[in-house]
A and B are shown apart, each in its own frame.
Chain A
């Protein structure tokens, strides 16, 4: 590349300059400015309809931490995220390992079938599952022979939304883990087999550590998206019954676009941002600690 620079004089309208300028403008307008606006706004009473923009100091943040609804929404959000990620990884990895096995036939068919919910719009599948959970006409009660009102019962509502989300998303983990397995170096296995390792110990000491980057990728992308879950809650339960499925994104949406408290909603989103950052760092830490342990 250095060579071309000396060969040709770069025009201001070179591909590189156009792309870089375009990206800078795009990210300035749609990322940097909005973040600054949100941050500044979180210290204000901000209502764009009334034209309000009044400095209130930390009032919005104190309101967040003294709001019971915030705390219950946060606990629902965390339960939702942790349970979904756990099952997504366990089921995803399990199926990927089965599909990777040389004795399994029809891999393409299975892969496509497991991937189907992933490539289906979330709004649409949320509707389907509202009907699946219907006490009279729903397939789940028909199969189980029960007539539980899954989504209108405090004890089952969150679990029902979680189950649907696991069903929808595990296929993505299957495909990622499968891609990870195909990318594993074959010589590691050969060397280990020569050393007498087999079955579970191969999995425990070779497959699992080598899949770590992929696992971390799945965990981190999952943390970011599940901590902001919104659509399935909106379609399936609207936060109810009571506050049993009320999630923080729902609170933010409600405060911002129903009550037009932009400042307060921004304060909640920054708190969420910090929660997401903490979880992401935590996920990195867990994997790197294991690495140290494994090296012993």
Chain B
């Protein structure tokens, strides 16, 4: 087979796969601009015949969408920022320091990734009950403040920073904190980007924990809100399409911001098996 023909076939396969991958999103976005009668009509359409913004306007009327959106945004940004900091600093300690019980502690870190959530969720819930943290964001932020995945990724990448570089800074009189903030942190941007993408997504889509912890409706997060909206206003398909479309946007923005460094970050931290 000629190179040209092979290249054509490969591109054709890729484009088909892209269409399959993207179509559910396009369909959702187009449907969010359709009227409810068009969505439910017997002769369905792909592109909206009658273009309307009403679904987006109404979604705020049917449930306090913006409030839940803001709650989710606040929680996800806060948790992501905290996790980036705790992962980088812990990764630094695991990669560049010696201390007693280091392997045991790192085992615990890996353990968080291996232990199923279903084992710890029940005791954690009963702990939150004892701490009187139910219906409080403390119960969502504090247990999520340290990420085993983040520390693991960071340790892998920070161990590739040459010791000589840190040593040179120490000789110049730099403190450990200075070295961390001014050398290690900036050098870790690629992995920080991948952690940011993953952590933001995980916090944004988290359903079960907020569902258990938060009881006041105005404190609830968007993913739980979407499910409640679906149950209560099950016939407002346009509203559901609009709400779902908006709920996807922040994650895509975070992805677009960080994606350039993202692949390098994954390559640097997870390949070396």
Contact = CB atoms under 8 A, between A and B. Distances in A.
B25 interface: yes
Interface string A257-285: 10000100110111011001000100000
A113 B90 CA distance: 33
A149 B272 CA distance: 45
Interface string A127-163: 1110110001101001000000000000000000000
A34 B118 contact: no
Contacts of A273: 115-116, 119
A99 B11 CA distance: 9
B10 interface: yes
A29 B131 CA distance: 12
Interface string B116-137: 1111111111110100000000
A119 B201 contact: yes
B192 interface: no
Given A27-B112, A116-B21, A121-B201, A35 B251 contact: no
Interface residues on A, range: 35 or more
Contacts of B50: none
Interface in B32-69: 39-40, 42, 44, 46
B122 A26 contact: no
B205 interface: yes
Q: Which of B18, B42, B120, B122 has the most CB of A within 10 A?
A: B122
Contact of B247 (A101, A124, A268): A124
A228 B237 contact: no
Given A228-B117, A269-B119, A105 B207 contact: no
A71 B126 CA distance: 27
A34 B208 contact: no
8 contacts: A26-B146, A117-B21, A123-B207, A128-B25, A137-B44, A167-B20, A235-B227, A273-B116
